[in-house]
Amino acid sequence: MRILVTGGAGFIGSHLCERFLKEGHLVDVIDDLSTGKITNLKNCLSNEKFNFYNDSVINERMMYTLIDKSDIIYHLAAAVGVQLIVEQPVRTIMTNIKGTEIVLDIAKKFQKKVLIASTSEIYGKSEKIPFKEEDDSVLGSTTYSRWSYACSKAIDEFLGLAYHRQFGLPVLIMRFFNTVGERQTGQYGMVIPRFVKAALMGEPLNVYGDGKQSRCFTYVLDVIEGMTALANDPSSFGNVYNIGSTEEISIENLAVKVKEMTESSSEIKYIPYEEAYGQAFDDMRRRIPSLDKIQAQVGYRPKVTLDETLKRIIDFFRKEIMLEKS
């Protein structure tokens, strides 16, 4: 197949590209490198079946050309990360909604399969645990810019499902729950790379809020297994699926675990949200997915534990830090 990955220079996208190249597919990537990095694709660039386009999904002419010759589109391009969302809400909204609109409109012309990356942020402040795909979203006030990401991805989902229902376009929505792994950056607030790098550098591990909020972290290659399994099942299109793990941990316990696994002497500091983000901040206390739907559809079960995930990330950052010092 010829596969188009938007946002392919990002953390998840780069792992996805490596998977497809190993399987012998042709892979095209479009990424403006606003949050992705070309170095993420260092294992792909020399492959004759790989093409990289340093451009934006907002460029309709370029997208027309790429979608025309593709068999399937993995639409991962998005503005992500809590810090980025708070600091640049206009960019978040425009990139996410406009980019998805362009992808879907052009894909409709050629009836190409589209997989849209969405997020557990969709569930907002809902306290109904675990989150099921058909559950209501409970979003905060528009006066809090942190909700712009959740709202923009909700519009992406509505658009994708509308194109499926109205035009018969094969569209699939994937809601990711805190995907983590090698190459993820802490630049825009991602907690695990931020903790790991701080611990290895002997710097404070900054826990925002009281640290009692909990998350379920999923190793990136487990997420990719779920994505590709769904893509290969024609009956999965037209649906929304959670992809994640149900191994829950509080953020303060995560900080303790990272400190222990790195044998770090770093202190754990608690930072009020207002100080961290420069404004009042709504946060979710728990975020746990129901995986019943994807398990029933394709037999998906995450295989890599949180401890093993952290070990791999710690090893990755140790090598990165050594390279930076050499």
Q: How far apart are CA 294 and CA 248, in angstroms?
A: 19
- Determine contact, residues 213/104, Cβ cutoff 8 Å: no
DSSP characters for 80-104? Answer: --HHHHHH-HHHHHHHHHHHHHHHH
- Determine contact, residues 15/40, Cβ cutoff 8 Å: no
Phi, psi of 173 (to 5 degrees): -105, 130
The closest alpha carbon to 95, from 159, 51, 156, belongs to: 156
The closest alpha carbon to 58, from 11, 6, 4, 9, belongs to: 6
Per annotation, catalytic residue among 123, 149, 163, 300: 149
Q: How far apart are CA 67 and CA 133, in angstroms?
A: 28
Indicate the pairing of strand 214-216 with strand 248-250: antiparallel
Q: Is 149 a catalytic residue?
A: yes
Read off the amino acid at residue 72.
I
| Active site positions, annotated | 149
